[in-house]
Amino acid sequence: MGHNFWNNKRVLITGYEGFLGSWLASILVSKKAEVIGLDIVYKRPKSILKELRNRLICIKGDIADFKKTEKIINDYKPEFIFHLAAEAIVVRANKNPLRTFRSNVEGTWNILEACRGKSFVNGIIIASSDKAYGPQKNLPYTEDMPVRGVYPYDVSKSCTDLIATTYYNTYKLPVCITRCGNIYGPGDLNFSRIVPDAIKSILRKKRFVIRSDGKFTRDYIYVEDVVNGYLLLAEKMRNLKLYGEAFNFSNEKPITVLKLFKKIERISFMKVYPPKILNKAKYEIKHQYLSAKKAKSILGWLPDYSLEKGLIKTIAWYDKNI
């Protein structure tokens, strides 16, 4: 795809104030796209967007409000939509299922419904998750496995996924779905997530507390690799006739929480107390990781960052910013 693909393209990012949204917004701005951001939060402090905000159109709004969402889409007529807004913190989602279903499920059908029949929309990328698959007998997860979450966050993402697919199957909306494992990198201000929490504990010399038994496995993917995957998919979805399809993005190297902690400790050259293991992780799947074979073979996507390389950049950012 030409280097100028995003030049002057009008793009709506829901959840642009969040971790992934702020990276996507900043990279799209650098590619000269005209970015409109919609988020329930306005100007989150310490965001990586701070110097860039005047180059975006920032709108405060709740995607669970259909009228407002529809008006924004009608007024701005985006050619591409990256739908990332969601309650994305698993523990918070499990504590507040109603708000989670409103944002993640109703919010998704609002976006899709507002795009129905709009010829100016050429591509909609919907952020689903590895959690959408729910527990499966075989690992890694591949895109042909059914989505069947069990716990609230996971179910909200299975629904996001299915609703997106039905809008393609029934109304031919140009939709693709992305599924990632744990995304990490500079700028994630959600300190209940493992990577930011572990780095903060180590930098502040506090004992790191692990909710699980420390042996849960996940794959960790660097945020810029995810943004590259989202952009490649949006650029290629039309020519390669990918509408209605889902893509996993992963570095395919699952690791336990304990091993991840040791790696962060080693890279930060700090010696800290061993983590406190609570063994209290309820309503979470023990082992998960994704196959990225489809994204590699169809999109030509490859991650640029090993876990070490990504963690070095990430730790340096937290060291400077928290």
Ligand X SMILES: NC(=O)c1ccc[n+]([C@@H]2O[C@H](COP(=O)([O-])OP(=O)(O)OC[C@H]3O[C@@H](n4cnc5c(N)ncnc54)[C@H](O)[C@@H]3O)[C@@H](O)[C@H]2O)c1
Would you please indicate which residues are annotated as catalytic (active-site) residues? Answer: 153
Give the span between the Cα atoms of 22 and 136, in whole angstroms: 32
- Terminal C-alpha separation, the chain: 38
Give the span between the Cα atoms of 219 and 95, in whole angstroms: 24
Q: How many residues contact ligand X, by CB under 6 A?
A: 25
Can you tell me which of 9, 11, 13, 17 binds ligand X, judged by CB under 6 A?
17
Return the number of the residue (42 or 273) whose C-beta is nearest ligand X.
42
37 three-class SS:
strand
Return the number of the residue (34 or 87) whose C-beta is nearest ligand X.
87
- Least separation in angstroms between residue 15's CB and ligand X is 3
Q: Where are the alpha helices (DSSP H) in the chain?
A: 19-30, 66-76, 90-95, 97-101, 107-115, 152-171, 194-203, 223-236, 257-267, 293-294, 307-321
Return the number of the residue (81 or 180) whose C-beta is nearest ligand X.
180
The DSSP-derived string for 114-152 is: HHTT-TT--EEEEE--GGGG-S-SSSSB-TTSPP---SH
- Least separation in angstroms between residue 45's CB and ligand X is 12
Whose CA is closest to 149, among 102, 104, 215?
104
Give the span between the Cα atoms of 226 and 249, in whole angstroms: 7
- Least separation in angstroms between residue 2's CB and ligand X is 27
Binding-residue pattern over the window 185 to 224 for ligand X, x denoting contact by CB under 6 A: -----x----------------------------------
Return the number of the residue (99 or 172) whose C-beta is nearest ligand X.
99
Structural tokens at position 231: 């952009």
Among the residue ranges 25-33, 82-90, 205-213, 290-298, the one whose residues contact ligand X (CB under 6 A): 82-90
231 sits near ligand X (criterion: CB under 6 A) = no
Whose CA is closest to 25, among 62, 61, 50, 60?
50
182 sits near ligand X (criterion: CB under 6 A) = yes
- Least separation in angstroms between residue 30's CB and ligand X is 18
85 sits near ligand X (criterion: CB under 6 A) = yes
DSSP state of 297: I
Among the residue ranges 70-78, 162-170, 178-186, 303-311, the one whose residues contact ligand X (CB under 6 A): 178-186
Contacts of 170 (CB under 8 A, 6+ apart): none
Specify the amino acid at residue 54: N
88 sits near ligand X (criterion: CB under 6 A) = yes
84 sits near ligand X (criterion: CB under 6 A) = yes
Cβ atoms 176, 125 nearer than 8 A: yes
- Least separation in angstroms between residue 22's CB and ligand X is 8
107 sits near ligand X (criterion: CB under 6 A) = yes
Whose CA is closest to 227, among 180, 265, 167, 188?
180
Site residues for ligand X, 108-167, by CB under 6 A, read 127, 129
- Least separation in angstroms between residue 226's CB and ligand X is 8
Return the number of the residue (15 or 229) whose C-beta is nearest ligand X.
15
- Least separation in angstroms between residue 301's CB and ligand X is 16
Site residues for ligand X, 21-50, by CB under 6 A, read 21, 39-41
Cβ atoms 125, 299 nearer than 8 A: no
Binding site for ligand X (CB under 6 A): 15, 17-21, 39-41, 62-64, 84-88, 103, 107, 127, 129, 180, 182-183, 190
